[in-house]
Amino acid sequence: MDKGRRRFNQDKRQGRPEGSRPDRRPDTRRDREDDAFAKEGSTDKIEGRNAVTEALAAGRDFNKIWILKPEGDKPLDHGLIRILDEANKRGIVVTRATRQILDKMSATHNHQGVIASVAPHSYADLDEIIAKCREEGRAALLVALDEIKDAYNLGSILRISDCCGVDGVIIPERRSVALDSMVAKASAGAIEYVPVARVTNLAQTLTWLKEKENFWVCGTDMNADYEYHNADYSGNLVVVIGSEGDGMRDGVRKCCDFTVSIPMSGHVNSLNAAVAAGVVLFEAQAKRNREE
């Protein structure tokens, strides 16, 4: 078979116009590096300066850190220098990457010049959280989230919980956002300090806390028993925050010993889940501190 016919048959099999040449893009070294960075960064990641800094401070296990490579003669800014110095002290592999590569790797689209590949974030054991409070001789304060699906809300609630001295957060395994890079980013590092326990059935867990561990269960609801500033938050307490759109499910609501509401006088009759959690938890913290 002559060369012309051989090319014609090959083009026909591959769906190209007769006599055309394959559209091949040169496989450059930079192309291969970009693909490698993006693939390696597809594992469990944390993004942003606060999140990475707090993870370093908490002793989290790192696989690798990607830091923005300055353009031209620009120096590395102080925030990234501190991360780089700490990574070098711990012997963590650090790679300088272009903004294009970091943008390609980023899930939050707000990496602030640093992305880290870390060991998967482990969930806490609820029994151990309660046992620690018992050993320290104090009442426990927990937060239970009923099907919170927005990563920003969960991250914000973790941040609020850290500020309020919450001992642990409970989330259900199903129909709830998990601990991921977006949650870590939104928590501004609080994910490293607030234990998160994941349970199979939230209603059963609340019942167990009441019957076996002497907890009071406080739910947040529009049609509540008390306004939030009139409630008693003493003793072992778990505050339940409902989902963004539907609030608490009926089965979870039935587990509550009492419910609280936040009075509003504006035109919008509902609050973001994280904002509602902040209002109730700061009030609970203030009252519990006064009692101590």
Does position 21 have pLDDT exceeding 70, yes or no? no
Residue 268: per-residue pLDDT = 67
Give φ, ψ of 227 to 5 degrees. Answer: -75, 150
Contact status, residue 143 vs residue 170, Cβ threshold 8 Å:
yes
Chain CA centroid to CA 110, Å: 14
Q: Same domain for 161 and 181?
A: yes
| pLDDT average, residue stretch 108-112 | 89
Lowest-pLDDT range, 44-48, 136-140, 194-198? 44-48
Q: Both 80 and 152 in a single domain?
A: no
pLDDT of residue 17: 46
Q: What is the mean pLDDT of the chain?
A: 85
User: Confidence band (pLDDT; 50, 70, 90) for 142?
Assistant: very high
- pLDDT given at position 278: 97
The number of domains in the chain is 2
Confidence band for 33, pLDDT divided at 50, 70 and 90: very low
For residue 227, being part of any structural domain is answered with yes
**Domain termination site, one of 118, 145, 174:** 118
Average of per-residue pLDDT across 101-121: 89
Are residues 164 and 80 located together in one domain of the fold? no
DSSP secondary structure string for all residues of 49-93: HHHHHHHHHTT--EEEEEEEPPSTTPPPPHHHHHHHHHHHHHT--
Residues 256 and 163 in one domain: yes
* Assigned domain for 10 exists: no
User: What are 219-258's pLDDT values in tens digits?
Assistant: 999 889 999 999 999 999 999 999 878 889 999 999 999 9
Q: Taking the CA of residue 257 as centre, how many other CA atoms within 13 Å lie in the half-sphere pointing to its CB?
A: 18
Is there a single domain that holds both residue 95 and residue 139? no
The residue with greater pLDDT, 282 or 15, is 282
248-273: average pLDDT = 89
User: Are both 161 and 80 inside the same structural domain?
Assistant: no
Mark whether 137 and 80 lie in a shared domain.
no
**H or E segment to which residue 199 belongs:** strand 196-199
**CA separation for the pair 247, 249 (Å, rounded):** 7
Please check whether residues 50 and 171 belong to one and the same domain.
no
Contacts of 157 (CB under 8 A, 6+ apart): 143, 145, 148, 169, 241, 273, 274, 277
Q: Which of 27-31, 87-91, 92-96, 161-165 shows the lowest mean pLDDT across its residues?
A: 27-31
pLDDT for 39: 47
- Alpha carbons 288 and 282: distance in angstroms, whole number: 10
CATH code (residue 135): 3.40.1280.10
CB 161 within 8 A of CB 281: yes
Last residue of a domain, one of 118, 134, 166: 118
Question: Do 260 and 225 touch, CB atoms closer than 8 A?
Answer: yes
Whether residue 38 lies inside any domain: the answer is yes
- 286 and 145 co-located in one domain: yes
The SS3 call for residue 16 is: coil
Same domain membership, residue 255 and residue 140: yes
pLDDT of residue 109: 87
Q: What is the pLDDT of residue 219?
A: 97
- Domain that residue 275 falls in: 126-291
Over residues 54-67, the mean pLDDT reads 89
Amino acid letter, 36: A
Give the sign of the dihedral formed by CA 243, CA 249, CA 254, CA 260: positive
163 in a domain, yes or no?
Answer: yes
CATH number at residue 69: 3.30.1330.30
For residue 104, is it within any domain?
A: yes
Q: Is 267 within the bounds of a domain?
A: yes
Which of 74, 101, 118 is where one domain is finished? 118
Q: Are 272 and 158 in a shared domain?
A: yes
Is residue 22 one of the residues assigned to a domain? Answer: no
Segment 17-24 mean pLDDT? 44
Statement to judge: residues 76 and 215 lie in one domain: no
Q: Which residues of 183-210 are buried (b: 16+ CB within 10 A; e: fewer)?
A: bbbbbbbbbbebbbbbbeebbebbeebb
pTM for the complete prediction?
0.71
Higher pLDDT, 292 or 45: 45
User: How many percent of the chain have pLDDT more than 90?
Assistant: 59
